[in-house]
Amino acid sequence: VLVLNGKIRKAGDKIFASNGKKVDFASALGSCEEAGGTLATPMNEEENQAVLSIVKPYNQYAYLGIKEGETPGQFKYINGMPLSYTKWYKYEPNGKGTEKCVEMYTDGTWNDKRCNLNRLTVCEF
């Protein structure tokens, strides 16, 4: 597998890639879907580490393919499935309905965040 300057990583059956752009959640999701994938959605520690290995060199937080459902504090994959793996930062999620998106910190932990901020685009294929 080609590894282009830390912009592409493989984990299991998934390939994670970044275009290096910082945009809001909808734009990030749109550009991933346009490329034939979706936003990075780590479903285990190996995948989380693969996404982190892209996030770290950019030193930027990245949106994940996870959103808050109708119930505040209950997060789901963007395909609507319940989360099977989480790596929340201590005391997160804490937005209680006001922070619908999820970002990955540069240490690999997650935080709920508003969706209108510019974050690194990391897609999965």
The answer on pLDDT for 2 being more than 50 is no
- Of the given ranges (2-11, 60-69, 87-96, 109-118), which has the lowest mean pLDDT? 2-11
Q: What percent of the chain has pLDDT over 70?
A: 95
Distance CA 31, CA 96 (A): 28
Name the helix (H) or strand (E) containing 49. Answer: helix 45-58
- Confidence (pLDDT) at 40: 98
- Confidence (pLDDT) at 7: 84
CA distances from 13 to 39, 42, 98, 115, 124 (A): 15, 12, 34, 28, 10
Tens of pLDDT, residue by residue over 45-68, are 999 999 999 999 999 999 999 999
CATH fold for the domain made of 8-124: Mannose-Binding Protein A; Chain A (3.10.100)
The string of DSSP codes covering 54-111 is HHHHHT--EEEEEEE-SSTT-EEETTSPBPS---BPTT----TTS--EEEE-TTS-EE
Mean of the pLDDT values across residues 2-18? 80
Give the model's confidence band at 6: pLDDT under 50 very low, under 70 low, under 90 confident, else very high.
low
| Residue 5 region by backbone torsions, left for phi larger than 0, else alpha for psi between -120 and 50, else beta | left
CA distances from 56 to 16, 71, 80, 97 (A): 14, 32, 28, 28
Mean of the pLDDT values across residues 87-101? 96
- Confidence (pLDDT) at 1: 41
Distance CA 18, CA 70 (A): 29
CA distances from 75 to 18, 29, 67, 86, 101 (A): 23, 17, 5, 10, 9
Mean of the pLDDT values across residues 77-90? 96
